[in-house]
């Protein structure tokens, strides 16, 4: 089957495969009414994983070609300065309470993610993989890589975290007696990043704005706290 490898050798083969898989997944997602369980990243990932396995392409070979897409992620993190500055007045107005809630939320996110691995004493790579799970995917993947985690697994865990928060978060908040839209949004943003934020915008504009703030601030704090938590657990 020589003709297949003629396709695989093209420098943009993996980029083409990735964009096409994502575009199809997005169309499916939009046609089905955007359910959390059919999140396009999850579907595109599953489809691509299947294609790589069927064609017998090693992940390293795929990643070498798809590198430009992966690297662009870091550029997008730098650009997060734009939404951060847009929400600046909101952050300043809610100031200290918001920052306090952020520190509590971010610590709880790290603590609950790492409680079981810490108690059971798993490998350092697994701790690094799970630690940044509540941060937005771009940030979480970079934090995981930096600490020696398995970036691919981190990405899937982060997206699943978002899906869980988006699907069950509003119910949990309801049962817990959280009525304030600002608090609902902030909690969804801190715990389940962009997917939670998208869900918060369905609650109200206020919830969405606070979710955006929560997501961005938690991404920043996770970059600072995850290495500390990691050092604490892996040394003990």
Partner 1 sequence: MTRSAAIVLILLILGDAIAEIFALPIPGAALGLAALTAAFAIRGGPDTGSEELFDFAAPYFPLFFVPAAVGVIASLDVLAFAWIHVTVAIVFGTGVTILITGLVSQALMRRITEEAQA
Q: What is the footprint of partner 1 within residues 24-43 (CB under 8 A)?
A: 39-42
* Least gap, CB of 92 to partner 1 (angstroms): 11
Number of residues that bind partner 1 (CB under 8 A): 112
Query: Could you tell me which stretch among 4-12, 30-38, 165-173 binds partner 1 (CB under 8 A)?
Result: 165-173
| Cα 188 to chain centroid, rounded | 13
| One of 7, 27, 34, 86 touching partner 1 (CB under 8 A) | 86
d(CA 133, CA 142) in angstroms, rounded, equals 11
The single-letter DSSP state of residue 232 is H
Q: How far is the CB of 90 from partner 1 (least distance, A)?
A: 12
In Å, how far from its chain's centre is CA 102?
A: 17
CB nearer to partner 1: pick between 4 and 76 = 76
Nearer of residues 142 and 208 to partner 1, judged by Cβ? 142
Distance CA(167)–CA(174), nearest Å, equals 13
CA gap 178, 170 in Å, rounded: 9
Report, in Å, the least distance between residue 3 CB and partner 1: 24
79 touching partner 1, by CB under 8 A: yes
Regarding 90 and contact with partner 1 (CB under 8 A), the answer is: no
Please choose, from the candidates 201, 141, 207, the residue with its C-alpha nearest in 3D space to the C-alpha of residue 178: 207
Q: Which is nearer to partner 1, 62 or 208 (CB)?
A: 62
Q: CA-to-CA distance for 1 and 21, rounded, in angstroms?
A: 23
Binders in 58-77 for partner 1, by CB under 8 A: 59-60, 62-63, 66-67, 69-70, 72-77
Binding positions for partner 1, 197-236, rule CB under 8 A: 214, 220, 223-224, 227, 230-231
At 58, list the tokens.
Answer: 């090693």
Going 230 to 127 to 166 to 63, the CA torsion angle's sign is positive
- CA–CA separation, 86 and 82 (whole Å): 6
* Among the listed residues 149, 216, 225, 158, the one whose alpha carbon sits nearest the alpha carbon of residue 192: 158
Stretch that binds partner 1, among 4-12, 30-38, 176-184 (CB under 8 A): 176-184
Q: Closest CB to partner 1 among 3 and 138?
A: 138
Three-state SS at 72: helix
Residues 110-149 that bind partner 1 (CB under 8 A): 112-117, 120, 122, 125-126, 129-130, 133-134, 137-139, 141-143, 145-147
């Amino acid at each position: 089957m020589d003709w297949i490898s003629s396709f695989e050798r093209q420098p943009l083969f993996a980029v083409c495969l990735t964009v096409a898989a994502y575009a199809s997944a997005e169309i499916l997602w939009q046609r089905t009414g955007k359910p959390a369980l059919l999140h396009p990243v999850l579907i595109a990932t599953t489809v691509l994983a299947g294609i790589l396995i069927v064609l017998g392409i090693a992940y390293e070979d795929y990643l070498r070609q798809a590198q430009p897409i992966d690297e662009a992620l870091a550029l997008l993190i730098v650009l997060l300065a734009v939404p951060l500055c847009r929400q600046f007045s909101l952050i300043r107005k809610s100031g200290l309470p918001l920052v306090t809630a952020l520190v509590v939320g971010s610590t709880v996110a790290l603590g609950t993610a790492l409680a079981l691995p810490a108690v059971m004493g798993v490998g350092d790579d697994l701790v690094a993989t799970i630690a940044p799970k509540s941060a937005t995917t771009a940030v979480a993947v970079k934090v995981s890589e930096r600490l020696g985690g398995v970036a691919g697994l981190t990405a899937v865990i982060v997206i699943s975290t978002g899906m869980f928060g988006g699907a069950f978060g509003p119910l949990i908040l309801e049962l817990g007696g959280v009525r304030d839209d600002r608090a609902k949004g902030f909690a969804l943003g801190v715990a389940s990043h962009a997917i939670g934020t998208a869900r918060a915008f369905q609650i109200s504009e206020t919830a969405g704005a606070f979710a955006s703030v929560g997501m961005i601030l938690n991404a920043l704090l996770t970059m600072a706290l995850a290495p500390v938590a990691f050092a604490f657990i892996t040394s003990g």
